[in-house]
Structure 1
Amino acid sequence: MPGPEGFAYDVRGGDVVITHHGRRATVLRGAAATGFLADVEDGADEQELMAHVTGNYRRGNERTAKDHPRNRGR
């Protein structure tokens, strides 16, 4: 399964603005912004980290949910 892509971040003052394909996804402030920047400096995969922070990541249950009776007609 391919990893997340299309995320970017910009530091504005003490805030971190995370965008996904050019659209603002979230803004991190305070301790969350500091922790995010520390993780980036430590060499964490930026795309994975931003996907996790924004909540835009796969949980592994998509195939199971697709086969659920209420979703079969979609």
Structure 2
Amino acid sequence: MSEIDKRNRLSEEPFAYQTTKKGKVVIYYKGKQIKIIKGSEAELLIARIREAEDNITEVQLLLAKITGNFKRGNEKIGKKNSK
């Protein structure tokens, strides 16, 4: 069993991406935009995605790694308490 995706969440395909005409990559998590990558980092990401195009889990892993640890579980708490 892979140590990276022990709970098999990437098979649900929570990440999606879209490339723009200006070369930016917009990354979505469960339909919500979470990050925009631009410049040389976007070019590198697009190249790596094209290499792994046949393996959906690998593409999901690339998108998860580039977004970093964005989800901590306190998103709803912060929205309620902000005034």
The alignment's TM-score, normalised by the length of structure 1, stands at 0.69
Q: Provide Cα deviations, 1:12-57, integer angstroms capped at 9, x if missing partner.
A: 1210000000111100101011000000111161100000000149
Could you tell me which runs of 5 or more consecutive residues in structure 1 were left unpaired when the two chains were aligned: 58-74
Matched residue count? 57
The 1-side partners of 2:59 and 2:69 are apart by 13
The structure with the larger Rg is 1
Could you tell me which runs of 5 or more consecutive residues in structure 2 were left unpaired when the two chains were aligned: 1-5, 71-83
Structure with greater strand share of residues: 1
The 1-side partners of 2:18 and 2:68 are apart by 18
Superposed CA RMSD in Å reads: 1.8
Percent of pairs with identical residues: 32
Corresponding residue number in structure 2 for 1:51:
64
Corresponding residue number in structure 1 for 2:44:
35
The 2-side partners of 1:56 and 1:10 are apart by 20
